[in-house]
């Protein structure tokens, strides 16, 4: 789902408020619009010449309808349900150096009999950290939502009802205006459905590494290079399961040439799982061409490696670790494992409105590996040599009513291909999502 965080209209000389996805990044200096005097006074409190305490949050409500949610194979009875998510935060900033940020969350659902782990967490600490910065250094310690790059491997999982949060620390160093480096070490938290019952630094999984940004904002070109290590007590693939240690080395390049922009990424993985070595990779190409001020056309494509030979001692299946929850639309049926896809789309944007039409065509990368869902579960691994998985059609309309309220309607339709048909997935899937979010 696309969320528009700002529009282009202007009240006199005052631009609209911009609420970021990570609310600790909100610019407190913007809350001065004379239209909202009472709100501004409650939003930011001055505790001295250089100390400010702010409050805020968001509430997102979602209604989902789905037919044939397993493409006709053992479909559950649930077809309609409601999801709600509340965030409340306080943000203390002392000068330009210290920040203490606390955010609690509540994710709930109704009219659904079978809960997914990402549907419900009654009360939890979504974020709680201390941030220190000076001219060159930044140190962050505590629980955070992380959001790196394009969200392909380490992100906050914004689409589902419960975000992914991490316990740990990171240290940034700014070498100059063009180069920034970061070291990180985190333990991803597995949410529990009750109230404040999530473990802290459980130790079942760890992720660590270094992320580096090289950029030039003037010509809108940037380059990222990163290394991420990953250790998990248990991972499951089509022919092997066990403890996994995986290393990922990746690059991401964003480049703009006139009205044409690119966002391309390549990532290679090595390590071991159980008694097998790992050699896997992914490459993605994302391009967008601006036809007019309102219309753009895009073409994306991905190659995600799968296992080449189930009988050897090398696993070639890519592991996306902690990807965004809406990797191929909010329907989130397929995950980025053993996959090839082509994704053309058309986009219209004007003021408060965004409309998008898109199409996906999915294939298996290797016919020796299966098809996986987004959480990484194996959907099927029949012995068919067929590669074609499915067609997916999508439509989205997003409207920003005012500075605080956003609505989004998304439809997806999946037509299973020969490979899925051979496993009993023979029915078309229809998915409808209505989302409304208020930020404050």
pLDDT at 201 over 80: no
Measured between its terminal Cα atoms, the distance across the chain in Å is 20
Q: What is the mean pLDDT of residues 175-188?
A: 95
Decide if 23 contacts 10 (C-beta within 8 A). Answer: no
Which is more confident, 310 or 97?
Answer: 97
Decide if 101 contacts 91 (C-beta within 8 A). Answer: yes
pLDDT of 244: 96
Which is more confident, 327 or 339?
Answer: 339
Decide if 330 contacts 1 (C-beta within 8 A). Answer: yes
Which is more confident, 219 or 320?
Answer: 320
Q: What is the dihedral of CA 287, 291, 297, 301, to 10 degrees?
A: -20
Which is more confident, 202 or 91?
Answer: 91
Which letter does DSSP use for residue 259 in this model?
Answer: T
Question: What is d(CA 410, CA 394) in angstroms, rounded to the nearest whole number?
Answer: 7
Q: What is the mean pLDDT of residues 248-274?
A: 95
Q: Which of 6-15, 136-145, 356-365 has the lowest mean pLDDT?
A: 6-15
Nearest one of 58, 50, 52 to 40, comparing CA atoms: 52
Nearest one of 286, 363, 366 to 318, comparing CA atoms: 366
pLDDT of 135: 92
Structure tokens at 38: 């009472």
Decide if 399 contacts 350 (C-beta within 8 A). Answer: no
Q: What is the mean pLDDT of residues 123-128?
A: 97
Handedness of CA 150, 152, 156, 161 (dihedral sign): positive
Handedness of CA 436, 153, 344, 251 (dihedral sign): positive
Strand locations in 20-79 (E): 44-46, 51-67
**Overall residue count recorded for the chain in this entry:** 440
pLDDT of 219: 61
Q: Residue 74 — very low, low, confident or very high, per pLDDT cuts 50/70/90?
A: confident
CA atoms within 13 A on the CB side of 341: 28
Q: What is the dihedral of CA 45, 46, 52, 56, to 10 degrees?
A: 10
Question: What's the whole-number average pLDDT of the chain?
Answer: 91
pLDDT of 3: 39
Nearest one of 65, 193, 31, 24 to 124, comparing CA atoms: 193
pLDDT at 188 over 90: yes
pLDDT at 124 over 90: yes
pLDDT at 222 over 50: yes
Which is more confident, 72 or 12?
Answer: 72
pLDDT of 279: 98
CA atoms within 13 A on the CB side of 47: 11
Decide if 174 contacts 212 (C-beta within 8 A). Answer: no
Decide if 376 contacts 237 (C-beta within 8 A). Answer: no
Question: What is d(CA 285, CA 263) in angstroms, rounded to the nearest whole number?
Answer: 7
Phi, psi at 388, each rounded to 5° = -70, 125
Q: Residue 149 — very low, low, confident or very high, per pLDDT cuts 50/70/90?
A: confident
Q: What is the mean pLDDT of residues 222-238?
A: 94
Highest mean pLDDT (candidates 13-22, 86-95, 207-216): 86-95
Handedness of CA 32, 35, 37, 39 (dihedral sign): negative
Of the chain, the percentage scoring pLDDT greater than 70 comes to 96
Q: Residue 217 — very low, low, confident or very high, per pLDDT cuts 50/70/90?
A: low
Q: What is the mean pLDDT of residues 117-134?
A: 95
pLDDT at 147 over 60: yes
CB atoms under 10 Å from CB of 312, counted, come to: 13
> Tens of pLDDT along 417-436?
999 999 899 999 999 999 99
Q: What is the mean pLDDT of residues 251-266?
A: 94
Decide if 215 contacts 222 (C-beta within 8 A). Answer: yes
């Amino acid at each position: 789902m696309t969320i528009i965080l700002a529009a282009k209209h202007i009240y006199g000389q005052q631009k609209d408020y911009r609420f970021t996805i990570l609310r600790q990044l909100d610019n407190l200096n913007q809350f001065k619009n004379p239209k909202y005097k009472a709100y501004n006074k409650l939003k930011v409190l001055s505790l001295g010449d250089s100390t400010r305490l702010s409050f805020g949050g968001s509430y997102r409500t979602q209604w989902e309808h789905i037919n044939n949610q397993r493409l006709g194979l053992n479909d559950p009875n649930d077809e309609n349900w409601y999801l709600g998510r509340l965030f409340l935060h306080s943000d203390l900033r002392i000068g330009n150096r210290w920040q203490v940020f606390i955010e609690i969350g509540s994710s709930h659902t109704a009219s659904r009999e079978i809960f997914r782990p990402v549907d419900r967490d009654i009360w939890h600490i979504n974020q709680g950290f201390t941030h220190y910065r000076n001219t060159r250094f930044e140190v962050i310690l505590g629980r955070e939502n992380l959001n790196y790059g394009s969200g392909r491997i380490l992100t906050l999982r914004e689409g589902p009802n419960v975000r992914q949060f991490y316990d740990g620390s990171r240290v940034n160093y700014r070498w100059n205006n063009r180069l920034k480096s970061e070291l990180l070490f985190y333990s991803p938290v597995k949410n529990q459905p009750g109230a404040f019952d999530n473990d802290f630094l459980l130790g079942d999984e760890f992720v660590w590494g270094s992320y580096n940004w090289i950029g030039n904002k003037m010509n809108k070109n940037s380059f990222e290079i990163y290394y991420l290590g990953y250790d998990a007590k248990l991972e499951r693939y089509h022919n092997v399961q066990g403890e996994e240690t995986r290393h990922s080395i990746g690059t991401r390049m964003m480049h703009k040439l006139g009205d044409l922009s690119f966002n391309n990424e390549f990532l290679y993985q090595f390590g071991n799982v159980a008694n097998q070595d790992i050699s896997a990779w992914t490459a993605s190409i994302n391009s967008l061409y601006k036809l007019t001020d309102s219309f753009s056309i895009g073409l994306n494509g991905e190659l995600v490696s799968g296992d080449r030979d189930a009988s050897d001692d090398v696993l070639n299946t890519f592991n996306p670790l902690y990807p965004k929850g809406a990797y191929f639309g909010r329907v989130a049926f397929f995950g980025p494992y053993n996959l090839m896809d082509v994704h053309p789309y058309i986009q219209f944007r004007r003021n408060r409105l965004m409309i998008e039409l898109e199409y996906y065509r999915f294939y298996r990368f290797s016919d020796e590996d299966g098809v996986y869902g987004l959480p990484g579960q194996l959907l099927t691994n029949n012995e068919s040599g067929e590669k074609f998985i499915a067609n997916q059609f999508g439509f989205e309309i997003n409207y920003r009513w005012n500075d605080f309220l956003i609505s989004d309607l998304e439809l997806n339709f999946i037509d299973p291909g020969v490979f899925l048909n051979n496993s009993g997935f023979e029915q078309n899937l229809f998915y409808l999502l209505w989302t409304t979010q208020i930020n404050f």
